[in-house]
Amino acid sequence: MADVGGGQQEHEEEGEGGGGRQRGVELAAAARAAVQKAALAAAAGQLGPFLLKEARITIYVEHPVPLEPPAEAPPPPPQPLKLTQKELKKLRTQRRLARDKEKQELIRQGLLEPPKPKVRIANLHRVLGTDAALDPTAVEKEVRKQMAERQAAHDDRNLARKLTPAERREKKLRKLFGAAAVETGVTDVGARGTGAKRGAAAAAAAAAAAATGVDVICSVYRVGRLTDPQHRFKVDANARENHMTGIMVVSDEFCVVVVEGVEKATRRYTKLMMRRIDWSTAPAAGRPAGRDPNGDAAMDDADEDEEDRPPPNVCTLVWQGTVLRRAFNGFRSETVRSAAAARQLLEDAGVVHYWDAAAGAAEGESVPYTI
């Protein structure tokens, strides 16, 4: 019985081994079929599940964009020490003395030829000594020739450093508006010229300012009335001189002045509107004559003048801030009769909200300006 049981067990083990080998053969055949199918699919232009697009592999290497690690910004570098005008003058003097001392050392060592004495008519006998007494006429002629040569060299050096008219204009604009504004051409927007030229200049300046980061600052002012010709001239002339764009709308209800410009120009114009102009002054008017100014008639006229006197004229800064682009190509003045017509002017320029802000602003309560 034991032998029969042992033989039966061996027979079962042989059956299990044969089944395992059969499954291995089937798996190998399935793998070969999958590989052949993938190869056929790749040959037909279709991507198989186990193949790469070798055509997409090139010699180029993709470099990821470098990103800053998430950390706090480093502290700003130490700022250079600001020197006063007296300290700068002293520093220049010390540098000049150091250069002269170094030059004297080189002359003393024989490495540099000593300069010729600057002979003048005043020190002629002291420098030349007895040589000046031998032939005074020839010596004086030679001295005057040397003086003329030195003066000519001095004039040539000054002429070489002299700026051309274009360079002088650029230097003046750089002082008035800043180097960045001059380089981008922002200061050419408010220049006088035809509408087409101003429009082209405004478009070019807007593109350059956007590329370089030069801010265009817009200011909106509300003025009670602009009946004085001097006030209107100052508002208009200063806007043009500062190369600013905008509009001055004069209406019976109130007036609105909108200006656009760089930071330095805006700072000067703000001082003009808020400090320099005395808005309380009225245009001079003749006083009616015919009665004694000390009599009762004069007192009655004074009472009538107080009753007919208009409210005080003030200028209010409604809004001031940075804008993306200019809304005007130049600066102009418009006189209208109604508030609706004035609002329509700004609506045509796409800045009707300036009029609405000025209409809703409290008279005399300006926004804080730090420019």
Q: Say yes or no: 356 and 220 in one domain.
A: yes
Please state, rounded to an integer, the average pLDDT across all residues of the chain: 81
Residues 149, 242 within the same domain: no
Residue 7 included in any domain: no
Question: Can you say whether residue 46 is alpha, beta or left, with left for phi > 0 and alpha for psi between -120 and 50 degrees?
Answer: beta
Average pLDDT over residues 53-72: 86
Residue 57 in domain? no
Q: Are residues 138 and 229 in the same domain?
A: no
Q: Bigger pLDDT: 57 or 77?
A: 77
* Cβ pair 246, 292 in contact under 8 A: no
Residue 47 lies in a domain: no
184-232 pLDDT, tens digit per residue, is 776 666 555 545 555 555 555 555 555 556 789 999 999 999 999 999 9
Residues composing the chain: 371
Q: Which pLDDT score is estimated for 69?
A: 84
Domain boundary among 116, 141, 161: 161
Helix (H, G, I), strand (E, B) or coil at 61: coil
Q: What's the rounded Cα separation, in Å, for the pair 180 and 202?
A: 16
Q: What is the CA radius of gyration of the chain?
A: 45
End-to-end CA distance of the chain: 114
Is residue 253 situated within a structural domain?
yes
220 and 150 together in one domain: no
Report how many helices (DSSP H) and strands (DSSP E) the chain contains, helices first.
13, 5
Question: What pLDDT does residue 7 have?
Answer: 47
Instruction: Kindly tell me the sign of the dihedral angle through the C-alpha atoms of 229, 232, 235, 237.
Output: negative
Residue with tokens 């100052």: 234
Same domain, yes or no, for 221 and 344? Answer: yes
What is the pLDDT confidence band of residue 11, given thresholds at 50, 70 and 90? very low
The answer as to whether 257 is a domain residue is yes
Is the pLDDT score of 2 beyond 50? Answer: no
Specify if 346 maps to a domain.
Answer: yes
Predicted local distance difference test score (pLDDT) of residue 304? 58
Tell me, yes or no, whether 225 and 154 share the same domain.
no
Question: Residue 135: what are its φ and ψ, rounded to 5°?
Answer: -140, 80
- Among the candidates 125, 141, 161, a domain finishes at 161
Judgement on whether residues 236 and 344 belong to the same structural domain of the protein: yes
pTM of the complete model: 0.60
Same domain for 220 and 351, yes or no, is yes
Residue 263's CATH number: 3.30.70.100
Are 242 and 315 contained in the same domain? Answer: yes
Residue 132 lies in a domain: yes
Give the structural domain span for 101.
96-161
Residue 111 lies in a domain: yes
Q: For residue 119, which amino acid is it?
A: V
293-345 per-position pLDDT tens digit: 455 555 555 555 566 677 889 999 999 999 988 999 999 999 998 999 999 99
pLDDT above 90 as % of the chain: 47
Q: Which two tokens stand for residue 247?
A: 């509009």
Quick one: pLDDT at residue 74?
Answer: 85
Structure tokens at 169: 């204009």
Cβ–Cβ < 8 Å for 358, 342: no
- 125 with 237, same domain: the answer is no
Question: Which of 91-105 are b and which e, b meaning 16 or more Cβ less than 10 Å from the residue's Cβ?
Answer: eeeeeeeeeeeeeee
Predicted confidence at residue 117, as pLDDT, reads 85
Q: How many domains does the chain have?
A: 2
My answer on whether 152 and 270 are in the same domain is no
Residues 122 and 246 in one domain: no
Distance in angstroms (rounded) separating the CA atoms of residues 246 and 240: 10
Q: How many CB atoms lie within 10 A of CB 248?
A: 21
Q: Of 141, 161, 181, at which residue does a domain stop?
A: 161
pLDDT at 291: 45
Distances 316 to 249, 254, 257, 274 between C-alpha atoms, Å: 15, 11, 10, 8
